[in-house]
Every structure is written in structure tokens, then in C-alpha cells.
């Protein structure tokens, strides 16, 4: 069942997909505060802000649209059949935003630049695939953002707001009062992918991109739930704080 921002979760409970709006607002406020207080946000930072908010908006359109196929492969099949889904439009927006933010970022080698676009777009889709159990996308997102500590906020002024917003949103997600939806999960994954592109050395970016693509394959085949349940430490972390089954 899907009705506007209300959707049934894995238990069949109707849950509002509103936490993405909270993350987008936190990201925008963070960029403004970093610019006002630090006074040093450069063009790449504003590009990252615009790209992040655009990705969140595309996810919101997908949330509000009619239910469609799940997974990138199914969206591509629908496109091949002549049916343009809101999810496919969202993918196009994510790829376009990834190209723009990489073009604005400090120069990297040619291979790292191409891999960076793939890393950011694939990461956005990975976190979308994680948002099928309470708290899963936010918990793994917070762990992912630990790798971004010390990043130059002039290049990514949205990061503090998204990190604080994710932490504040976690209890509502875990207790099944609200969920991220595509708007929040894609925004979270886009942020982590871009952050990794900015902090990793050039030789590591293609490796990170390959890992992100591999995770997309897992999501579309095995599914994240089965993969996580098969690994005891991941299963424990995934269920940490969640309501009893």
C-alpha cells in the first residue's frame, strides 16, 4: 500500500516517509551556517549542496509517484518496454548530479573522475536499497560518515547537518514512527558517496566504486536482508535498537 508519503513497512504498518524532508532541511541549514560562520564555502561546496537537494527532491517525487518496480534492473526493464518510471527519472537525476559535483570538485585523475561519478551514483542507490528495515539505512549511514571526519567543509557544507539530522532521526526510524523514503535514503547515500570521493586517494576511488556497484548487485539479487542475516555481526548491528519482531 502506498498513498502519498504513507507506505506500509515490512510488517504491514502504515509509516510516513517524512524523515527525508528532515534530512534535506538539515542539509540546507548546515550549508548556510557553514557559509555564515566559516565564511569559506566555495563553488564545489555550493554545487554539492545543490546536487544533494536535487537528489532529495527527485527521491521525493518518486515517493509521491505511483508504486513502481523495485531495483535498478527492474527500472531498466520497464524503460526497455517503453515505460518511464519516476524511479528511472530519479536515477537520471542522481547520475546527472553526480557528474556535476565531480566536475566542480578539485581535479583528480581521469580514471578517478569517471569512477567518482559511478561511486556517488551507486552509493545513492545502495542506501535506497538499505531503507527496507527500521533504522538500517541510518545506522549504516552513520557508520559510513565516520570515514568522512575531517573533510573540508568548504567542499561539503551539508555534511554536519546530515550527520546530526541522521542521528536525531534514528529513534523515530527504529521505533517505526517514520522512515526515510527515497528522498532521505538517496540523499544519505549521495552524501556518503561524494564524501568518499573527496577524501579517498585517487587509486582507491575505482576500488570504492567497484564495491558500491557490487553492493547494488547484491541488493538486486540476494537482497540486503538475506546478506545481512547471513553474517552474525551485521545481523546484530542491523537489529540493534529495533522493535521486537
Q: Is 18 domain-assigned? A: no
Give pLDDT tens digits for 21-63: 999 999 999 999 999 987 788 899 999 999 999 999 999 998 8
Q: Is 225 domain-assigned? A: yes
Length of the chain: 245
Q: Is 205 domain-assigned? A: yes
pLDDT computed for residue 4 by the predictor:
67
Give pLDDT tens digits for 190-229: 999 999 999 999 999 999 999 999 999 999 899 999 999 9
Number of structural domains, the chain? 1
Pairing of strands 6-8, 14-16: antiparallel
Q: Is 11 domain-assigned? A: no
Q: Is 233 domain-assigned? A: yes
Q: Is 73 domain-assigned? A: yes
pTM above 0.85, yes or no: yes
Q: Is 4 domain-assigned? A: no
Q: Is 163 domain-assigned? A: yes
pLDDT computed for residue 88 by the predictor:
82
* Residue 123 structural domain: 41-239
Q: How far apart are CA 20 and CA 18, in angstroms?
A: 5
pLDDT at 174 over 70: yes
Amino acid at each position: 500500500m502506498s498513498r502519498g508519503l504513507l507506505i506500509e513497512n515490512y510488517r504491514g504498518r502504515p509509516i510516513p516517509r517524512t524523515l527525508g524532508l528532515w534530512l534535506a532541511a538539515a542539509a540546507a541549514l548546515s550549508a548556510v551556517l557553514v557559509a555564515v560562520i566559516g565564511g569559506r564555502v566555495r563553488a564545489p561546496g555550493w554545487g554539492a549542496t545543490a546536487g544533494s537537494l536535487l537528489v532529495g527532491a527527485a527521491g521525493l517525487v518518486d515517493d509521491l509517484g505511483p508504486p513502481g518496480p523495485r531495483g535498478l534492473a527492474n527500472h531498466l526493464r520497464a524503460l526497455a518496454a517503453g515505460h518511464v518510471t519516476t524511479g528511472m527519472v530519479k536515477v537520471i537525476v542522481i547520475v546527472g548530479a553526480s557528474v556535476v559535483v565531480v566536475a566542480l570538485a578539485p581535479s583528480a585523475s581521469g580514471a578517478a573522475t569517471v569512477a567518482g561519478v559511478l561511486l556517488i551514483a551507486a552509493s545513492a542507490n545502495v542506501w535506497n536499497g538499505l531503507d527496507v528495515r527500521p533504522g538500517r539505512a541510518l545506522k549504516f549511514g552513520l557508520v559510513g560518515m565516520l570515514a568522512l571526519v575531517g573533510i573540508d567543509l568548504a567542499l561539503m557544507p551539508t555534511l554536519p547537518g546530515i550527520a546530526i539530522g541522521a542521528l536525531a532521526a534514528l529513534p523515530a526510524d527504529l521505533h517505526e514512527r517514520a522512515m526515510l523514503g527515497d528522498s532521505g535514503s538517496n540523499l544519505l547515500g549521495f552524501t556518503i558517496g561524494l564524501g568518499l570521493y573527496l577524501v579517498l586517494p585517487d587509486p582507491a576511488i575505482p576500488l570504492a566504486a567497484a564495491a558500491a556497484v557490487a553492493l547494488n548487485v547484491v541488493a538486486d539479487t540476494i537482497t540486503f536482508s538475506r546478506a545481512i542475516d547471513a553474517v552474525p555481526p551485521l545481523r546484530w548491528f542491523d537489529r540493534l535498537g529495533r522493535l521486537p519482531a
